[in-house]
């Protein structure tokens, strides 16, 4: 890591903006099913078939040859993760009345905490990976995960890496630290997709992704890396992470719009945004959607950042679930 040096007036302004962004992000995680996510001792949970059914390693991912400079840069900056998943069931719970299992899996040197939902029956089922925002927890999507299970769709909701070891800091005036955080989260999410594809109950050709805020931001990287995702929902996220500088951190591609433009043409994208969002501007969101390589749709809802659950009639939740059911 480079040594710290004096900050320019422009950098100080960026830091001030980042502090505002952090204040907006904190507490914007909405209303999950908090009552059902108290820690559960592994000893209190009966052994699950998932633990024995999951292979020790994920199937190898065959990455297409990058056809653009953006794709090549992404492949260099986001090395393909590998190694044993070591998926373990750590407990069980109910989210909005449906049974789910708390799990962990390995991602590089980190252990990712997540919650797995699988419908009853043999499948194979479509499956969705849920990625929360900064300071958020996976149970922010509890109602959505439960609704998808009732519709016959599996889901894996993960915790972001800014709340566990090794700690990362996505909102920072240091572009190298921000880049490190994005790389960590993307690796965790790619491993999450490996988890879903390793399950015999899941159809590996019918995968979806839902990202909120930071999760929506890094979703563009997943698309640019051409992960096998058929349908993306990117909510309350734009192309400009406050303070991000694409020329910093050794040329790190800090612009997810550039990344999503390098994606293949087969995926579909639903963007849901708040008209009053102060973290991601209307121009930033519109550019993100405009650069999407596949079929895309942008839905504006009233309210600012974090209004996902406050939108009239639950529009953000209902719209994205219906869209996933149709696409998957």
68-115 confidence digits (pLDDT tens): 577 777 888 888 999 999 999 999 999 999 999 999 999 988 999 999
d(CA 125, CA 252): 36
What confidence category does residue 261 fall into, taking pLDDT thresholds of 50, 70 and 90? confident
Phi then psi for residue 155, to 5 deg, are -155, 150
DSSP per position, 121-171: SS--EEEEEEE--TT--GGGGHHHHHHHHHTTEEEEEE--GGGSSSP--SS
222-241 confidence digits (pLDDT tens): 999 999 999 999 999 998 75
Label residue 277 left, alpha or beta by phi (over 0 means left) and psi (-120 to 50 means alpha): beta
> Is the N-terminal amide bond of 124 cis, ω within 30° of 0?
yes
**pLDDT at residue 289, as a whole number:** 95
Region 11-32 average pLDDT: 50
The alpha-carbon radius of gyration of the chain (Å, integer) is 19
Homologous superfamily in CATH for domain 9-327: Alpha/Beta hydrolase fold, catalytic domain (3.40.50.1820)
Q: What is the mean pLDDT of the chain?
A: 79
Q: Is residue 235 within a helix (H) or strand (E), and if so which, with residue range?
A: strand 231-235
DSSP letter assigned to residue 35: G
CA end-to-end distance (rounded Å), the chain = 43
Helices (H), the chain: 9-25, 49-53, 69-77, 142-150, 175-198, 214-224, 256-260, 282-291, 315-327
Least confident of 60-64, 136-140, 211-215, 253-257: 60-64
Query: Of 163, 298, 271, 165, nearest to 217 (Cα)?
Result: 271
Each domain of the chain, given as residue ranges in start order, spans: 9-327
Considering the chain, what percentage of its residues have pLDDT values greater than 70? 73
In this structure, the dihedral spanned by the alpha carbons of residues 182, 278, 213 and 254, taken in order and rounded to 10 degrees, is -20
> Is the N-terminal amide bond of 166 cis, ω within 30° of 0?
yes
**pLDDT at residue 21, as a whole number:** 54
Contacts of 126 (CB under 8 A, 6+ apart): 152, 153, 154, 202, 203, 206, 207, 208, 324, 328
- The dihedral through the CA atoms of 254, 257, 261, 266 has a sign that is positive
Considering the chain, what percentage of its residues have pLDDT values greater than 90? 49
Phi then psi for residue 308, to 5 deg, are -50, -45
Least confident of 85-99, 171-185, 259-273: 171-185
Label residue 267 left, alpha or beta by phi (over 0 means left) and psi (-120 to 50 means alpha): beta
């Amino acid at each position: 890591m480079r040594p710290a040096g004096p900050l320019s007036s422009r950098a100080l302004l960026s830091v001030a903006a980042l502090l505002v962004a952090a204040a907006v992000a904190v507490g914007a995680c909405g209303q999950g099913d908090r009552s059902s996510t108290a820690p559960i001792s592994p000893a209190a949970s009966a052994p699950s078939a998932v633990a024995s059914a999951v292979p020790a390693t994920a199937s190898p991912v065959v990455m297409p040859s990058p056809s653009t400079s953006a794709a090549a840069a992404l492949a260099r900056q986001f090395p393909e993760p590998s190694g044993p998943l070591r998926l373990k069931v750590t407990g069980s719970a109910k989210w909005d009345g449906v049974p789910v299992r708390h799990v962990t899996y390995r991602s590089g040197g980190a252990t990712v905490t997540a919650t797995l939902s699988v419908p009853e029956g043999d499948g194979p089922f479509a499956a969705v990976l849920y990625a929360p925002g900064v300071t958020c927890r996976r149970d922010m999507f509890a109602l959505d995960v439960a609704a998808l299970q009732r519709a016959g769709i599996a889901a894996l909701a993960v915790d972001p890496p800014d709340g566990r070891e090794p700690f990362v800091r996505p909102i920072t005036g240091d572009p190298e630290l921000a880049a490190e955080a994005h790389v960590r989260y993307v690796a965790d999410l790619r491993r999450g997709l490996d988890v879903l594809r390793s399950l015999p109950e899941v159809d590996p050709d019918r995968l979806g992704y839902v990202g909120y805020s930071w999760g929506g931001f890094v979703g563009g990287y997943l698309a640019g890396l051409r992960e096998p995702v058929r349908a993306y929902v990117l909510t309350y996220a734009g192309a400009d992470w406050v303070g991000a500088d694409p020329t910093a951190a050794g040329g790190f591609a800090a612009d997810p719009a550039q990344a999503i433009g390098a994606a293949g043409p087969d995926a579909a994208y639903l963007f849901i945004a708040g008209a009053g969002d102060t973290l991601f501007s209307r121009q930033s969101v519109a550019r993100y959607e405009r650069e999407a390589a596949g079929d895309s749709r942008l839905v504006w809802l009233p309210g600012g950042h974090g209004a996902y659950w406050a939108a009239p009639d639950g529009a953000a939740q209902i719209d994205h679930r219906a869209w996933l059911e149709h696409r998957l």
